[in-house]
Structure 1
Amino acid sequence: MSTEPPSQAETVVVGAGAVGCSVAYHLAELGAEDIVVVDQGPLPVTGGSSVHAPGIVFQTSPSKTQTKAAHYTTRLLKDAGVYDEVGGIEVARSEERMDFLRRRVEWATSYGLPEPQLLSPEEVGEHLPLVDEDEILGGYYSPTDGRVDGIAALQWYMEETPATFVGNTEVTDLDVEGGEITAVETDRGRIDCDRAVVATNNWGYQTGQMAGVDLPIAPVEHQYVVTEPLDELAEEDSDVGENTTGLDVPGQRDVAEQMSEGPNRPVGRDQDHSLYFRTHGDAVGMGSYNHETLSVDPDAMGKNTEEHQASVRGFSREHWERATHPDRDTSAKEAFDGLLPATADADYETTENGIFVFTPDGMPAVGETAQVDGLWTALAVWWTHSGGYGRILAEWMENGVPRLPSGPVPVGGIHVRRFEPHAGEKDYFVDRGATRYRQVYSIVEPRWQPDDHRGLRTSPFHERQRELGAEFYQGGGWESPQYYESNADLAERYADEIPEQEGWRGINRSPIEGAEHLHTREHVSMFDMTSFSAVDVSGADAEAFLQRVCTNDVEMDVGDVTYSLLCNEGGGVLADVTVARLGDEEYVVTTGGGNSPGIHGSWLDEHAPETVSVNVDEGGRSTIGLWGPKSRLLLQRVTDADVSNDGFPYFSAKRIYVGEVPVMAMRVSYVGELGWELWTPTEYGRRLWEVLEDAGEDLDVRPMGGGALESMRLEKGFRLWGTDIDTDANPFEAGLGFAVDMDTDFVGRDALERAREDGIDSHIVPVTLDDSTDIALSGRPVLDAEGEETLGYVQAGDYGYSVGESIAYTYVPSEHADPGTDIRVACEGETYDATVREEPLFDPGREKIIR
């Protein structure tokens, strides 16, 4: 380790905590050279959350990426000798939590964690004798959970990484020229660089501001205490007083000292009361989220000094002893006194309010920023996932493919570019971060919706939708109807075809969603697509550019439309898009809503040559999907254009007028019915809705919401990026080989050629439950016919109201992918017999969509 910063480096990592060290280690492992890691604090005890955190690792998550990143972290740090694999137990004090723990077992099974199991109260007591068995109903045990020794892990990274580590050095600025990072300025000199990584976590917002990037990273306090030595643990060894000997420690040495003391029993948590705990030798450490959110102004994080660790605040006893959490009626101390009676009268030797961060959706912020080329982020990552995300980001930076040794990972839920334009506003992300803190141990219902910062982005149809009783769901800040109360009569009409969903899978669902599905199949519906995005691509080299980035051939006639994919260098599906040629040098590329504009639009923009203009028109157009067997009859009433099958064939586009509204109409359908997407400038949107609604009254035209869209697209096998397809699957695995023209030269082609030569050993397939109408929820295990081998997990599931079967999509090994193969699906404690089917399940001859 060097004490002097160099004047130049290829890569500068800002932050020498768990994540920054992991990124540097993995970059070097992949062959990167000339790496500098800079931190404001002393090394290795930097003074960030990496050294005040208790290091507890619970690997199981509803997210595959989170789970796999955590498991990789445990394997890496166990081999390094800085991870205590003592196991982890989550206890339940309510029936609702026991149901949740059963979901834990299913997620762990799906994502490959070893030997997950449910325990009886007595079995919990055998592992954790301090727990009062009478207080609990059972527990979930993951034997490879445990604890990271934070300071020892940082020391190991620094010793094993061929990089220059510079402590006691404050970053004062990030120099950006021509949209590219050029240097990192410090209080000890300038470091010219080709790329930089922001891994400052608690200071992430402030660091981003130096480059003019609004990173939505919200710091929040939470509490941790360590008891005095307990008689019940008197036989346990303790090294307290020796763990930080010889190290420079900012602020409270006792915090770092205690956090370095390892556990001798499984780590535990009581999520019913937002608590977690572990032993520290002969003492017990207890952590609490069980208090009101204590948000910290991102601009007021402050600096470390010899007397003060900026990421540790004074312990607020009132939040420990009083019930201040809005969803809990018991204080942290009261709950711990009941669960761990031995701690009830113990004094606390160490206390802290430690700071860590949340993003608006609670997931990490990883990847290269859209605003500054060469500026990468690795933020909102805890010790639990730090090794995994360090590897993911290093692979992404070096090879263009985010991956772990187990394979590529999806980026839709973790990419720093996923955040909508308003997410960087401080009040917004601090409030949303506070909500995520409040929920961190809560049981969050399916389809849960926030109640703050609503109505940010609305289509011009919004007021009419409110009149129709729309149930709005928010995505990417957009308010999009899930269903309409005005269609309640349809639920009565189709009641016999809409099975009831009970329990967990029925929460926040309405039978109206199924009714809108069935109505659209028989009549005509209007779907608000305003949250979807259009990317205008124009210029003399527009065709050549799109040919380079699209997997399908875009050398087509004006008015033609094609379906294509965008792939990364590893052949992973970065996006699926619809490409329409509107002129000799004019194309429009349409993609989904939510995170698509930030991830897909910016990717197109940064890959375009100077001779090509790329305009991501997010919100500039409002769009209606007009779908159903009566859609042609309705559209012909309001336009002079020929919309017959000969005059306007499937997968074509042209500019028309609907009433007096100028529209770019594309004959495409995401629901498998005859129909069009009608795109118009936003200011015309309200009139477009009125024209169609008025003209279609006698055709029983209805509005349709997102619930119906999901079940209809699954019946047709249409993919949804971020759900069925992402960067962890290639087009051949995803059943999208028809959208790949291997005779063209596109990004990712070489990787796909290698994959095809090696053989495709996994395929996505539709599965239907044999004897049940229950919905199979995403993330649940798909098993072989004997229920012994885990083949995969449910990517997406819903009830197919037109085919009368419960549908799930899953990737399975090729030997299990043939139609007719018997398999099983586990969900909510039940195991269902199921069958692999040939897709599409609905209208396989495409008679409805091309008529």
Structure 2
Amino acid sequence: MSDRNTLPSDAGTVIVGAGIVGCNLAYQLTELGRDDVVVVDQGPMPTTGGSSTHAPGIMFQTAEPKVLSKFANYSRQLYSELEGRDGQQAYKEVGGIEVARTEERMDFLQRRVEHATAWGLEDPQLLTPEEVTDHLPLVDSDRILGGYYSPTDGQASGVVACDALARRAMDGGAEFVPHTRTEDIELDEDGDVQAVVTENGTVACDEVVVATNIWARQLGEKLDVHLPVAPVEHQYTMTESLDELADNAQDVTDHPLFEGYENVSGEKAKRLLANPDRPILRDQDNAMYYRTHGDSYGIGSYNHEPVVPDPDDLGGNDPDGNQASVHDFSERFMNEATHPDRPDKAPRTASDELIPATKDKELEFKYNGMFAESPNGLPIMGPVQGTAGLWVASAIWITHAGGAAKALAEWMETGMPKLPDGPIDLAHCDVNRFDAHEGSWDFTRDIGGEEYRIVYNIVHPKWVWEGKQRDIRRTPMYHAHERRDAELWASAGWEEPQWFESNADLVERYEDRIPDRDGWEAKYWSPIEAAEHLHVREHVGLHDMTAFNKMEVVGPDADAFVQRLCTNDMDLDVGQVRYTLMCNEAGGVRADITVTRTDDDRYLLLTTGREVGNNHVAWVREQAPEGVVVNDVTSSLAAMVCTGPDARKVLSKVADADLSDDAFPYFTSQQFYVKNVPVTALRVSYAGELGWELYTPSEYGETLWEHVMEAGAEYDIRPYGNGALDSLRIEKGFRLWGEDLHTEHNPYEAGLGFAVDLDTDFVGKEAVAAAAAGDNVRHEVACLTLDDPEAAILADRPVLDPETDEAIGYVHSAEYGYSVGACVAYTYLPPEFAEPGTDVEILYEGEKYAATVEEEPLI
């Protein structure tokens, strides 16, 4: 790659950042036919000085989030096709092993097998200690209980991969311009991208992609786009030559990239370019990882207190060749126990125990390298709401960059993220998923540090933050919840009840219908959730649903816009309510929503989604034409639902309206007063029982809550939390977007064809019509119940064909159905397996659970 390219005056797409993300993206865009792509970077190429230059390039593919494993698997395949400047394959498929020193970690490794099986990774295995040392002879088998082995894991040098990808991109017409720092992005009078301003001139362009990882926040701030990207430091060292690795000694000084690498990284380039000769290794109990560099062992450590530099202090490479993403090594972090969760053993001690050959050996090269973290540990990708032409690709590692760039390029070109095996849902990676508070540096810094802290911890899927950055958003009923001893969990910053300790007396009342629960599935669960569920089914409950996303669509063209947005017939009278879907251009379900026409030119759109609900708001705003205003009214309206067989009796005591079936039919809305509080009421309920959703301006929320609770006292009304709601909705077959409903499936695959009217025009109609005709239906939704009525499982585990033991799907969501007396799971299966009555198995925590496909809804 030449350092002599000059800056062009215009381009279709400018990518800021020529690290592993930018190079991958440039290649993918040129593969899709674009020949007007320009990549600029402040450093030399391919050794830019960012994280891609100092990273050891280890690639463990298995992760609990499906999106990360899918990205990693595609990256592995792509890097395996790349040829480095030395004529060798860029990817070294040496395998990857994670070891366990505790029984708890062994359970974790079993989950690794199950997640890998669910996501389609090849041949995941559990190993005995002796089998680990068959692959890794220098590991002390007496220190471990076993290991997890993924044979297609491996290593890819960021520099080698960047160079190979860039050369391919240039063959497709892309231009790369080094030594060119981006200073600003110019917008036109409409707020759309117009040009990229660099230290060496301005490039007019239609699109710009911020692919600068640890520097992403600063560039966003110039546009008032507050990206929650935190640079964090971790340690990497390389030992002196070890006699035990002498057979793998390598001289890389004749490598075509060595001179440039040495100019940026110094002498350690001699090690970083040397290939591994055995599986990469993780000791997550001690937050350490390993790979060989020729005859040296590389030791990476997350086993120290979090260090989050201020982005404004990062700067760039200095004139002496010091790398911008590298800070001085902290000796204390290696030789003392500073990690808040691992206070008993220094990293160097733990490392020498595991690999005794390194004991007393000099750590020849040592540095603190930086990478980027996001608030949920996932990439930050996609088009930025409100700034046409501005895209982000940040908080992405070498392991995931190939897949992330492929998905993003498809998104930019076709409007739909996808990988070669089909669409991939990026709801939890979308740049628009964040709430306003997450853009603050206080939040970004603290949560970036917390994400660093838990990188190698065993984290339960229901675990929530404690301590830092909690109690940020309070619903109007917050103090009422505290008075009833609510167990509050944070969701999108909202403090939401999961259950109420004040309902503990209900457990004894319903105990014969609440199975005992232990093990992994019992963590972060309370039998009070079950009791609240049963009480709502049989009596009445009140649930705070303020955090559900709420949008108001207003304007003279609102009716036409809502029809264009929605798959159902939206010719509604004022006061009518309709369930419908929004789809993307490829027919994937973008959201399921409840739409209420509240006036001639005004609609209320209600949706779930929790942490990713803001994606829906961004989508609706992106689609809106002139003459239509989309207001996010989530925070301005308090919301609650009174539901259960006695709901009408309760509300009739305080509502100045007739709530009978004739006067207030299902799926209609009215405005009335609850005592002295103005309310917009919808006769719908996500719990699946008789009920009314009640909306009022936020300042009235707590008063309304207490009015309803007081009116319901004689009917033993109880507040209930999200735990009960999740089990109530799954029994009724109501989907939860982001879990058992997302863009990877069309309405017919999701069993929601009833919410589609093909006589109307809507976004994605052509693809949805093809699905209606039977095309593009690869999987169908299936409701499963476990045959063992005492068993409970969690999501993201493989569904198996009991005849062949092959994975045919995975559990999208699972909750115990206390009214049906069985654990209920939703999945998507090949059509021949989705027929009711079909027997399948679910692999969970090392055991196979028999399950049966059922007709839905169950009750």
Range of TM-score over shorter length:
over 0.9
Question: 1:390-789 to 2 correspondence within 5 Å?
Answer: 390-451=405-466, 452-592=468-608, 594-757=610-773, 758=775, 760-786=777-803, 788-789=805-806
* SS in structure 2 at match of 1:252: helix
Query: 1:655 deviation in Å?
Result: 1.0
* SS in structure 1 at match of 2:615: helix
Where does residue 122 of structure 2 map in the other structure? Answer: 114
Where does residue 300 of structure 1 map in the other structure? Answer: 313
Closer, same or farther: CA 461–350 of 1 in aligned 2, 3 Å: same
- The range that moved more, 249-258 or 650-659, is 249-258
Q: Does the Cα contact within 8 Å between 2:609 and 2:737 map onto a contact in 1?
A: no
Q: Does the Cα contact within 8 Å between 2:213 and 2:396 map onto a contact in 1?
A: yes
Q: Aligned equivalents of 2:506 and 2:129: distance in 1? A: 48
Q: Aligned equivalents of 1:254 and 1:668: distance in 2? A: 67
Question: 1:822-841 to 2 correspondence within 5 Å?
Answer: 822-841=839-858
Closer, same or farther: CA 621–250 of 1 in aligned 2, 3 Å: farther
Question: 1:93-132 to 2 correspondence within 5 Å?
Answer: 93-132=101-140
Q: Does the Cα contact within 8 Å between 1:250 and 1:309 map onto a contact in 2?
A: no
Aligned CA-pair RMSD: 1.2
Closer, same or farther: CA 153–125 of 1 in aligned 2, 3 Å: same
> Structure 1: which amino acid aligns with 2:176?
F
Q: Does the Cα contact within 8 Å between 2:252 and 2:258 map onto a contact in 1?
A: no
Closer, same or farther: CA 248–113 of 1 in aligned 2, 3 Å: closer
**Which of the residues 196, 199, 218 maps onto 2:211?**
199
Unaligned runs of 5+ in 2: 83-88
**Which of the residues 794, 808, 811 maps onto 2:825?**
808
Query: For residues 462-512 of structure 1, what are the alpha-carbon distances to aligned partners after superposition, in whole Å with 9 as ceiling and x for unaligned?
Result: 111101000001000000000000000001111111111111110111000
**Which of the residues 231, 247, 253 maps onto 1:241?**
253
Establish whether residue 790 from structure 1 lines up as the match of residue 791 from structure 2.
no
Where does residue 336 of structure 2 map in the other structure? Answer: 322
Where does residue 177 of structure 2 map in the other structure? Answer: 166
Where does residue 847 of structure 1 map in the other structure? Answer: none
Q: Aligned equivalents of 2:264 and 2:12: distance in 1? A: 33
Q: Aligned equivalents of 1:520 and 1:138: distance in 2? A: 46
Query: 1:33 deviation in Å?
Result: 2.5
Q: Aligned equivalents of 1:249 and 1:571: distance in 2? A: 50
Question: 1:49-448 to 2 correspondence within 5 Å?
Answer: 49-80=51-82, 81-161=89-169, 162=172, 163-177=174-188, 178-243=190-255, 244-247=257-260, 249=262, 251-307=264-320, 308-328=322-342, 329-448=344-463
- The range that moved more, 209-218 or 755-764, is 755-764
* SS in structure 2 at match of 1:361: coil
* SS in structure 2 at match of 1:357: strand
Q: Aligned equivalents of 1:18 and 1:705: distance in 2? A: 44
Q: Does the Cα contact within 8 Å between 2:271 and 2:294 map onto a contact in 1?
A: no
TM-score by length of 2: 0.97
**Which of the residues 23, 26, 34 maps onto 2:25?**
23
Q: Aligned equivalents of 2:609 and 2:748: distance in 1? A: 24
Q: Aligned equivalents of 1:457 and 1:700: distance in 2? A: 29
Q: Aligned equivalents of 1:409 and 1:454: distance in 2? A: 31
Query: 1:294 deviation in Å?
Result: 1.1
Q: Aligned equivalents of 2:179 and 2:620: distance in 1? A: 40
Query: 1:597 deviation in Å?
Result: 4.7
> Structure 1: which amino acid aligns with 2:267?
D
Q: Does the Cα contact within 8 Å between 1:369 and 1:377 map onto a contact in 2?
A: yes
Query: 1:61 deviation in Å?
Result: 0.6
Query: 1:773 deviation in Å?
Result: 2.2
Where does residue 86 of structure 2 map in the other structure? Answer: none
The number of residue pairs the alignment matches comes to: 842
> Structure 2: which amino acid aligns with 1:269?
R
Q: Aligned equivalents of 1:157 and 1:346: distance in 2? A: 37
Query: 1:255 deviation in Å?
Result: 3.4
Q: Aligned equivalents of 1:450 and 1:250: distance in 2? A: 42
Q: Aligned equivalents of 1:233 and 1:669: distance in 2? A: 65
> Structure 2: which amino acid aligns with 1:512?
I
Q: Aligned equivalents of 2:52 and 2:612: distance in 1? A: 33
Closer, same or farther: CA 428–97 of 1 in aligned 2, 3 Å: same
Q: Aligned equivalents of 1:25 and 1:133: distance in 2? A: 43
Closer, same or farther: CA 697–801 of 1 in aligned 2, 3 Å: same
> Structure 2: which amino acid aligns with 1:389?
A
Query: 1:437 deviation in Å?
Result: 0.3
* SS in structure 2 at match of 1:447: coil
Q: Aligned equivalents of 1:175 and 1:396: distance in 2? A: 23
Unaligned runs of 5+ in 1: 843-851
Q: Does the Cα contact within 8 Å between 2:138 and 2:357 map onto a contact in 1?
A: yes
Give identity over the alignment, percent. 52
Q: Aligned equivalents of 1:213 and 1:812: distance in 2? A: 40
> Structure 1: which amino acid aligns with 2:699?
E
Closer, same or farther: CA 341–192 of 1 in aligned 2, 3 Å: same
Closer, same or farther: CA 593–66 of 1 in aligned 2, 3 Å: closer
Closer, same or farther: CA 233–263 of 1 in aligned 2, 3 Å: same
* SS in structure 2 at match of 1:192: strand
Where does residue 4 of structure 1 map in the other structure? Answer: 6
Q: Does the Cα contact within 8 Å between 2:262 and 2:268 map onto a contact in 1?
A: no
Query: 1:181 deviation in Å?
Result: 1.1
Q: Aligned equivalents of 1:360 and 1:160: distance in 2? A: 33
Query: 1:324 deviation in Å?
Result: 0.3
Query: 1:64 deviation in Å?
Result: 0.9
Q: Aligned equivalents of 2:792 and 2:30: distance in 1? A: 46
Query: 1:787 deviation in Å?
Result: 5.2
Query: 1:559 deviation in Å?
Result: 1.1
Q: Aligned equivalents of 1:311 and 1:449: distance in 2? A: 30
Q: Does the Cα contact within 8 Å between 2:18 and 2:39 map onto a contact in 1?
A: yes
Q: Does the Cα contact within 8 Å between 1:41 and 1:250 map onto a contact in 2?
A: no
Q: Does the Cα contact within 8 Å between 1:446 and 1:505 map onto a contact in 2?
A: no
- The range that moved more, 432-441 or 753-762, is 753-762
Q: Does the Cα contact within 8 Å between 2:550 and 2:633 map onto a contact in 1?
A: yes
Q: Aligned equivalents of 2:565 and 2:251: distance in 1? A: 58
Query: 1:250 deviation in Å?
Result: 5.1
> Structure 2: which amino acid aligns with 1:258?
R
TM-score by length of 1: 0.98
* SS in structure 2 at match of 1:197: strand
Query: 1:260 deviation in Å?
Result: 1.8
* SS in structure 1 at match of 2:248: coil
Q: Aligned equivalents of 1:371 and 1:455: distance in 2? A: 29
